């Protein structure tokens, strides 16, 4: 454990006085061209909890993660990390801030030419001056935590989808981040692998004392692992609360999403011109 603390201390910049929220999103607005993605979004990510962000496809869940890590800039509003508006950070400060994040990408994003061991070791080699002996200790400990210490010498092409996702999780947490982000971690997994990842998300969050942001539309898995969930629709928070509270919500939108109902406020068809007129070509006249 002392190795983890040493890594964490090397990567963590000075923080302001902590409060209950590690991230605060205030009145966030963001558009792509003429399409408004967020229209005054407000979300609080509580310290030490697993916070889920849900919503129908196309509501901007992954875009929100890019805004939180400042890969994108909002049109207006604020994103505060430990009370600091990330829009005010210069390049060096932003680089230091990003070291506090761990990221589990949708497809795992393992480096195909590196072994499992070297994939997990990569962030340590890039961002620290730890000795090879200590790197070996940290990497093997993280792989053991996800049940894959025995796969250290394997290549990504030799892994199943579930194993690859677990290696990616070990890599995401190898620097002992303050904030761990999961972008659709359950996509494409069989029921057993999904159950393993769900258990690891909860266990790693509690064991390491981190704060997790989980973006997904898998309602059952989110209900199992999250402390608080936000349902996004039409650029704003449509509902928030514990999984039980959302399941009991009276809102038609919330009920449609939580129970997978085909009919409801979320339409099947994307907004388009009149069908008959478009088929007959009248809109082109």
Retrieve residue 248's tokens. Answer: 């009991």
What confidence category does residue 250 fall into, taking pLDDT thresholds of 50, 70 and 90? low
Number of domains in the chain: 2
- Looking at the fold, whether 264 and 159 belong to one and the same domain comes out as no
pLDDT at 282: 56
If you average pLDDT over residues 26-53, what whole number do you get?
91
- Looking at the fold, whether 210 and 268 belong to one and the same domain comes out as no
- Looking at the fold, whether 92 and 28 belong to one and the same domain comes out as yes
The mean-pLDDT minimum among 5-14, 110-119, 243-252 falls in 5-14
pLDDT of 190 above 80: no
Rounded CA-CA distance 75/87 in Å is 11
pLDDT of 1 above 70: no
- Looking at the fold, whether 182 and 259 belong to one and the same domain comes out as no
- Looking at the fold, whether 274 and 182 belong to one and the same domain comes out as no
- Looking at the fold, whether 229 and 260 belong to one and the same domain comes out as no
Q: Which domain holds residue 209?
A: 2-249
- What tens digit of pLDDT does each residue of 208-238 get? 888 999 988 777 777 788 889 898 888 888 8
pLDDT of 129 above 60: yes
* Residue-wise DSSP of 147-212: T-GGGTT--GGGS-HHHHHHHHHHHHTTT--SEEEEESTTTT--HHHHHHHHHHHHHHHHHHT-EE
pLDDT at 95: 87
Rounded CA-CA distance 250/52 in Å is 20
What confidence category does residue 38 fall into, taking pLDDT thresholds of 50, 70 and 90? very high
- Looking at the fold, whether 278 and 170 belong to one and the same domain comes out as no
- Looking at the fold, whether 217 and 242 belong to one and the same domain comes out as yes
Give the C-alpha distances (Å, rounded to integers) separating 204 from 140, 172, 213: 16, 11, 13
Contact, 78 vs 28, CB < 8 A? yes
pLDDT of 206 above 60: yes
The mean-pLDDT minimum among 24-28, 46-50, 78-82, 192-196 falls in 192-196
- CATH number for the domain that contains residue 200: 3.40.50.300
- Looking at the fold, whether 133 and 10 belong to one and the same domain comes out as yes
- Looking at the fold, whether 195 and 217 belong to one and the same domain comes out as yes
- Looking at the fold, whether 258 and 207 belong to one and the same domain comes out as no
If you average pLDDT over residues 96-102, what whole number do you get?
88
- Looking at the fold, whether 197 and 212 belong to one and the same domain comes out as yes
If you average pLDDT over residues 147-171, what whole number do you get?
89
Contact, 136 vs 124, CB < 8 A? no
pTM assigned to the model: 0.77
Contact, 163 vs 128, CB < 8 A? no
């Amino acid at each position: 454990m002392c190795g983890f603390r040493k890594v964490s201390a090397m990567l963590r910049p000075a923080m302001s006085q902590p409060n209950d929220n590690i991230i605060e999103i205030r009145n966030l607005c963001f558009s792509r061209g003429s399409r408004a993605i967020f229209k005054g979004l407000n979300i609080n990510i509580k310290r030490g909890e697993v916070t889920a962000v849900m919503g129908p496809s196309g509501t901007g869940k992954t875009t929100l993660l890019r805004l939180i890590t400042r890969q994108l800039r909002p049109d207006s509003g604020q994103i505060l990390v430990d009370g600091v508006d990330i829009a005010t950070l210069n390049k060096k400060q932003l680089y230091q801030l990003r070291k506090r994040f761990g990221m589990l990408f949708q497809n795992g994003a393992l480096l195909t030419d590196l072994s499992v061991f070297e994939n997990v070791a990569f962030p340590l080699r890039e961002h620290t001056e730890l000795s090879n002996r200590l790197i070996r200790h940290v990497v093997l400990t993280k792989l053991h935590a996800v049940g894959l210490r025995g796969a250290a010498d394997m290549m990504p092409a030799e892994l199943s989808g579930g194993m690859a996702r677990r290696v990616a999780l070990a890599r995401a947490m190898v620097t002992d981040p303050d904030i761990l982000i999961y972008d659709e971690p359950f996509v494409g997994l069989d029921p057993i692998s999904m159950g393993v990842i769900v258990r690891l998300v909860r266990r790693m969050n509690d064991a390491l004392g981190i704060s997790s942001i989980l973006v997904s539309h898998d309602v059952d898995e989110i209900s199992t692992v999250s402390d608080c969930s936000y349902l996004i629709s039409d650029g704003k928070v449509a509902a928030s609360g514990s999984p039980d509270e959302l399941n009991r919500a009276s809102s038609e939108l919330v009920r449609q999403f939580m129970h997978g109902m085909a009919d409801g406020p979320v339409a099947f068809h994307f907004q388009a011109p009149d069908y008959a007129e478009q088929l007959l070509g009248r809109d082109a006249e």
